[in-house]
Homo-oligomer: A and B are copies of this chain.
């Protein structure tokens, strides 16, 4: 039976493991800014719309622990049985009926409800003062901020800049599944994303390279994109000047 940690100043980084430099940036900051810090690793079944994506999701707990320790993280929380976090047998969930239905929400039905549900469970179990999230999934970040406001959660939600590799590709645990030709395509995607000034130009450039676009969407001075390379989805976003 899980119960809440005692109250202290706690920085929390929720992840699905397979840590990369993007996670490391969050962990370093959580360790630096809080008395105590906690990493969770939990591959949450309810946020996968695609069962094969869930089955193939990379897991490497030993390496994750090593990384977290080296970055000064105090606690590691990695429930291996989903029933520990879903004692309700998946009967209760958090839903959002507006912003969660576009972009990633439209491409991945139910994804954000599953994500919000697990984040709320983790926040109420772990009771951190600060939650650290990457800006790569900016829609996720804003949905969690909205949930925190809607339910009066006493937690500061801190969005951290997306970490990219030397070619400008936003890091993702799913990159491990790209083959060499797909990796080349992924770099072309990143290059176009950074250099094209308009959504229209970006769309043309990607289409010329035969890259499958799931959406390009502008909202609140931010451009969001998702593409599919092989069977891997890549997402990114950046601020754009106001019109």
Contact = CB atoms under 8 A, between A and B. Distances in A.
Given A87-B150, A150-B87, A94 B96 contact: no
A92 B88 contact: no
Interface of A: 2-4, 7, 86-99, 116, 120-121, 124-125, 146-147, 149-154
B95 A93 contact: yes
A146 to B, nearest CB: 6
24 contacts: A4-B154, A7-B7, A87-B149, A87-B150, A88-B150, A89-B98, A90-B97, A91-B99, A91-B150, A92-B95, A92-B96, A92-B146, A92-B147, A92-B150, A92-B151, A93-B95, A93-B97, A94-B94, A121-B151, A121-B152, A124-B151, A124-B152, A124-B153, A125-B152
A163 B145 CA distance: 42
A101 to B, nearest CB: 10
Contacts of A96: 91-92
Contact of A151 (B98, B120, B146): B120
A36 to B, nearest CB: 19
A199 B210 CA distance: 67
Given A92-B94, A94-B95, A120-B151, 19 more contacts: A3-B152, A3-B154, A4-B154, A86-B150, A87-B149, A88-B149, A90-B97, A91-B97, A91-B98, A91-B146, A92-B95, A92-B116, A92-B147, A92-B151, A93-B95, A93-B97, A94-B94, A95-B95, A124-B151
A88 B151 CA distance: 9
A214 B95 CA distance: 29
Contact of A121 (B2, B97, B116, B150): B150
Contacts of A151: 92, 120-121, 124
A81 B149 CA distance: 17
Contacts of A89: 98
Contacts of A154: 3-4
Nearest to A100: B91
Contacts of A125: 152
A164 to B, nearest CB: 31
A135 B121 CA distance: 27
